[in-house]
Amino acid sequence: MGGVAGGIAREAKDSRVETAVGLRIRTRIFLRWMRVVRWMRRGDSLAMLEICCFSEFKIYPSRGRTFISADSKTHRFLSSKTESLYHQRKNGRILSWTPHYRRINNKGVVQGAAKKRTRRNVKYNRGVVGASWEAINARRNEKPEVRAEAIAKAKAKAQSKTRTATKA
């Protein structure tokens, strides 16, 4: 009887394992379906795009592989090739087929579009409403002594005007 009871227990245990595995698979399918539905609800195809942490290619929904490291960081890879190269500790900046390498080494960039031409502002010397450019330039270039004399004359003239105004 002990053997029969052990056999029954083993059967029950096996069926529990099957249900746990089936539940895990059903959960995974459901979560993948929810991710697709969420992506479809947003309406734009760029909503769920991710970037491969090795090659920097775009990973579209239901594509790619996920690796969770010991420090709980999530790494998304485009393919098994990129995952394998990551685990081999290869550098994506050195491999010529990665977008990271192409961006660093200026590959595929049109030279005309790469450097933008700038226009310099041209200065024009023009006169203002009350004076021409020659008059402004002459005042700017005159010596300080001449300017001081002109200021003294202007002050004397202003004072004489105020004295005549107060007398009258």
141-158: pLDDT as tens digits: 888 898 899 889 999 999
Specify the 3-state DSSP secondary structure of 120: coil
Long-range CB pairs of 143-150 (<8 Å, 24+ gap) are none
Q: Which residues of the chain have a pLDDT value below 50?
A: 1-2, 9, 46
> Which tens digit of pLDDT belongs to each residue from 18-49?
576 777 777 777 776 666 555 555 555 545 78
Write down the H helix ranges in 43-143.
80-87, 99-104, 111-114, 133-141
Taking the C-alpha atoms of residue 15 and residue 21, their distance in angstroms, rounded to an integer, is 10
What pTM did the predictor assign? Answer: 0.40
What is the per-residue pLDDT for 1?
Answer: 46
